[in-house]
Amino acid sequence: MANHRFSPVSEGEQPCCDISRKAQICLCVVLSLLVLVIIAVVTAILMWPRSPPNHKEWQGSGTTAHFGDIVLGRCYTYTQIVRPELRDKDCQKIQEVFLKSFLSKDPCDATEQDYQPLIELANQTVPCNKTVFWSKTKELAHQYTRVQQALFTLENTLLGYIADDLSWCGDSGSSEINYQSCPTRRDNCSSNPVSVFWNTVSKRFAEDACGVVHVVLNGSLNEAFDRRSTFGRVEIHNLHPKKVHTLQAWVMHDIGGVRRPVRFLQCVKNPEHPSCTSGI
């Protein structure tokens, strides 16, 4: 075997495998550029405009724009200003549970059970003798309860206040809100999220009523009491006889109705009407 001799590196000499300082700087620059490129690519992917989810098309308008923000804002307005006795309600949780009630679900297969967690979370007690139902008299009934603030229509409760005039739906194939279109009865879809919501909260509103309850009906129509309305289909059938001892129906015509406090409101908007100038 040949004899090999290894001489130690003398002091002051660099090992042959050491990288020069210049090479180290170049390597650091290359690595830094590589990191920057990776960050730029990831950022571009995340910020690249995504096409909206391919939801099924329905005949109704889509979910109200900024739905979640509106729900949260109305909840805070109601609990902090309108009814401050409910200030301890968790509006963030109410918004979250409301969204969960319809997201990632078939919008033609909504059920009462979907809304039960929301109803329990926003539970509210309406005092006896203070419940007001309405049928085809929404504007007039709400004008009255704005003056008589001790009275409650459904829309004067927390959930009714939050959801009034809003539309919403999701899709079983997506976890996102459908802002493009939502189903209605015209789509042969009676179990849509909005209809089921109002049927469910209307049922609960009627079940909780007690004492004397009131209903404002439109006597100017051919049928003041419409069995197909929410009051005729849902609410009147869920009044408990043991809790409700009197149902007062205020059948209002255009202005000349017999309910004087309501007529006062009508005359404010129509002061020249004969029923208003002849004494009420």
Digit-coded pLDDT (tens) for 176-219: 999 999 998 878 899 999 999 999 999 999 999 999 999 999 88
Confidence of residue 272 (pLDDT cuts 50, 70, 90): low
Task: Indicate whether 67 pLDDT > 70.
Answer: yes
Q: What are the structure tokens assigned to 26, written together?
A: 């170049």
Confidence of residue 134 (pLDDT cuts 50, 70, 90): very high
CATH code matching the domain that covers 60-277, chosen among 3.40.50.2000, 1.20.82.10, 3.90.1150.10, 1.10.3720.10:
1.20.82.10
What is residue 12's predicted lDDT score, i.e. its pLDDT? Answer: 52
Query: For the whole model, what pTM was predicted?
Result: 0.74
What is residue 219's predicted lDDT score, i.e. its pLDDT? Answer: 86
List, by residue number, the catalytic residues.
128, 210
Domain ranges of the chain: 60-277
Lowest-confidence segment of 2-11, 70-79, 104-113, 130-139 by average pLDDT: 2-11
